[in-house]
Amino acid sequence: MKTLSILSRLVVGLFFLSTLFITSCKKEISNNTAQEEEFASKASSEADAESEVMFNDVFDNVLGADDEVGMGGIGVFGRANNSSSNGSISARGDSLSPRCFTKTVIRLNPPALFPVKIILDFGNGCRGRDGRWRSGKIITVYTNRLVVPEAKATTTFEHYKVDSVKVEGTHIITNVSTSNVHRFKVQAIEAKLTKPNGNYSMWNSVKYITQIEGLGTPYYPIDDIYKIEGNANGKVKRENLLFTWRSEIIEPLIKKFTCPWIVKGRIKIIRETLSSTSPWIAVLDYGNGVCDNKAVITINGIPHEITLH
């Protein structure tokens, strides 16, 4: 069961966006000018990357609630603040720092341990051990301990924000491991990230997270490596513009336990109004294995570096 436990330490996420009503005050980009297409492709790619980071955090916190439902000591329960310039982290959480939230455990069918509801309440806001400012609640119902095959955790949010970004939707983690493959299926359903200026991104996403290295060292997670595969679709609003897109991981994303960022892999992002052969396909490239918060979006042959948050 080691790899199932270690897999729960993953800082991934994954996750992602759905359907939106178009109102009269927002227009869908329709003119295929170079400037508009580049803007649409870049905004869609940035939305995809930002949502990956946000729902990675949700994944980590749901699995880290405690040993009874997952593997305690990760996410807001034990992650130390990053100390290096490239964002790498140690394998040990900062257990001495005080927590800035409350945890409520509710047995839904007592005296049975499961199903169980766990509420993480960050109140009006506080800064966590990872440096992020959170407020509101993360509410998760677990059918069993998540390191057990077929166990499921369903998460919703109540007035939840991270660094002023409002998080909504449903997040589902399902353990789909077999005797020789250690894997989670992660879904985001009607997920939405809204910024203070009114811009937002919406996703539907299905990802699979599989451990590919570190299987032989049960108590040494620092060598664990995972691959992420799957696809997403969604809508993005930027000022008065609204456009739809879909994405597909074309080269598995690689995630190391010792790094909070994706270190390698590529995602293809296409506007729904364009064909799959359009020159305006964007490719989001996470690099060659170096741990940093940089990625490159290539649009029509022109690269654009972005910083992940």
* pLDDT at res. 231: 95
> What are the CA-CA distances from residue 43 to residues 16, 199, 238 (Å)?
15, 11, 8
DSSP assignments along 35-72, one per residue? HHHHHHHHHHHHHHHHHHHHHHHHHHHHHTS-TTTS-S
pLDDT in tens, 104-139: 999 999 999 999 999 999 999 988 877 889 999 999
Secondary structure of residue 76 in the 3-state scheme: helix
Instruction: Judge contact between 63 and 8, C-beta under 8 A.
Output: yes
Which distant-in-sequence residues (6+ apart) come within 8 Å of 167 by Cβ? Answer: 54, 58, 157, 160, 161, 191, 192, 193
pLDDT classification of 96: cutoffs 50, 70, 90? very low
Q: Is the pLDDT of residue 93 over 70?
A: no
The mean pLDDT value of the chain amounts to 79
* Rounded average pLDDT over 219-239: 85
pLDDT classification of 90: cutoffs 50, 70, 90? very low
b (16+ CB within 10 A) / e for 82-110: beeeeebbeeebeeeeeeebeeeeeeeee
Tokens of residue 307, six digits: 């910083």
The torsion angles phi and psi of 73, rounded to 5 degrees, stand at: 100, 15
* pLDDT at res. 57: 85
Give bridge partners of residue 162 from the DSSP assignment. Answer: 134, 165
* pLDDT at res. 264: 94
- Residue 226 CA, distance from chain mean position: 14
- Distance in angstroms (rounded) separating the CA atoms of residues 73 and 70: 10
Q: Is the pLDDT of residue 303 over 80?
A: yes
Q: What is the DSSP letter of 114?
A: -
Secondary structure of residue 199 in the 3-state scheme: coil
pLDDT classification of 278: cutoffs 50, 70, 90? low
* pLDDT at res. 15: 31
* pLDDT at res. 153: 97
Tokens of residue 169, six digits: 């939707």
